[in-house]
Amino acid sequence: MNKFSVLLPCYKGGLLFRRAVESIVSSKLPATRIIISFNNYQDENEAWLHALIKKGFFGDIQVVILNTKNELTALEHWLYICDCLKEDIKPNELLFLMAHDDWLGDCSNLNVNTLYEQQGTVYFPNYKPTKDINIRSYLPFNVDLLPRDWFWYDVKETVFTNMSGMIIPFYLLEEISKLSMDKKTGTRFEHSLALSKKTKYLKYLDSVNVNIYIHANQSGALINTLESRIDDLWYYTFVKNNVEMSLVDNVKIRVLTCKKLISIVLCYFKFLK
């Protein structure tokens, strides 16, 4: 049987964390292991988790609990998790990523063995946000998408992404965590995973349903406009360096880069006023 682990980092998760944990079992996700890592935060949730284990709530699912002991940034936390697991998890083992404020719907129809047959694919779930926003307007389920095609949908803002529900191999999580720490990419963590040089295809699965808790920061309400545009510029550079593009695509992304540079300059002078 192929191993399939849920990876759930937590920082001050409160009751949302409990909902997330309970949903993993109620969703009937075919997980063999749940790995939960607390980011230097001792509260009743850790004791609550041990009580659930003692009651047999998780059945045959193995539960692994980690604690950083020191408060880390989000990226440092991912690196900590990778370092803890590298001796126990094989590079190609598939991981189901989850944030502590989201929760799972029905996942009983997911066939993990089928996922293992297609190496180099990054999977996204069927997202169900808690607010009415545009989601995957033009992206079909269960179809292999080339990274470059997915990127152009993303530029048009017809793609909704979130770390929760992504299914990736362990080696990719390790690689992107280190890359993101080593240099600024201006790229959301899930975009870096999706557009890695080692990603052959991306696929949305209608057999995995994830409820996304939308808050102000995710909608961009707390992000400075200038900072956002600079991050976009870094994102285009990241894509150009990591995704195989046609000649036409290369021209298009250079035009995008020039437009973004101009918008940054205009935004900067407006900010100075």
Query: Within the chain, what is the greatest distance between any pair of CA atoms?
Result: 63
Give pLDDT tens digits for 222-270: 456 777 788 788 888 888 888 989 999 999 999 989 988 888 888 777 6
Answer whether 159's CB lies under 8 Å from 139's CB: yes
Give pLDDT tens digits for 85-115: 998 999 999 999 999 999 999 999 999 999 9
Closest alpha carbon to 197 in 234, 231, 245: 245
pTM: 0.89
Place of tokens 């046609």: 246
| Domain coordinates in residue numbering, the chain | 4-212, 225-272
pLDDT score of 138: 61
Give pLDDT tens digits for 176-201: 887 776 665 557 788 888 888 889 99
> From residue 61, how far is each of 58, 97, 163 by CA, in Å?
5, 16, 22
Give pLDDT tens digits for 149-180: 999 888 877 777 788 999 999 999 988 887 77
Q: Which residues contact 224 (CB under 8 A, 6 or more apart)?
A: none
Average pLDDT for residues 10-24, to the nearest whole number? 92
Query: In this model, does residue 220 exceed pLDDT 50?
Result: no
Q: Which residues contact 186 (CB under 8 A, 6 or more apart)?
A: 230, 231, 232, 233, 234, 235, 237, 238
Q: What is the rounded CA–CA span in Å between residue 129 and residue 126?
A: 10
Mean pLDDT for the chain? 86
Most confident of 37-46, 67-76, 217-226: 67-76
Q: Which of 3.90.550.10, 3.60.15.10, 3.50.50.60, 3.40.50.300 would CATH assign to domain 4-212?
A: 3.90.550.10
Query: In this model, does residue 8 exceed pLDDT 90?
Result: yes
Q: Which residues contact 259 (CB under 8 A, 6 or more apart)?
A: none
Higher pLDDT, 182 or 24: 24
Exposed / middle / buried, residue 105 (Cβ in 10 Å: 0-12, 13-18, 19+): middle
pLDDT score of 18: 94
Higher pLDDT, 43 or 167: 167
Question: How many C-beta neighbours within 10 Å does residue 89 have?
Answer: 22
Which tokens is 146 given?
């080339």
Query: In this model, does residue 219 exceed pLDDT 70?
Result: no
pLDDT score of 145: 93
Exposed / middle / buried, residue 251 (Cβ in 10 Å: 0-12, 13-18, 19+): exposed
Higher pLDDT, 79 or 132: 79
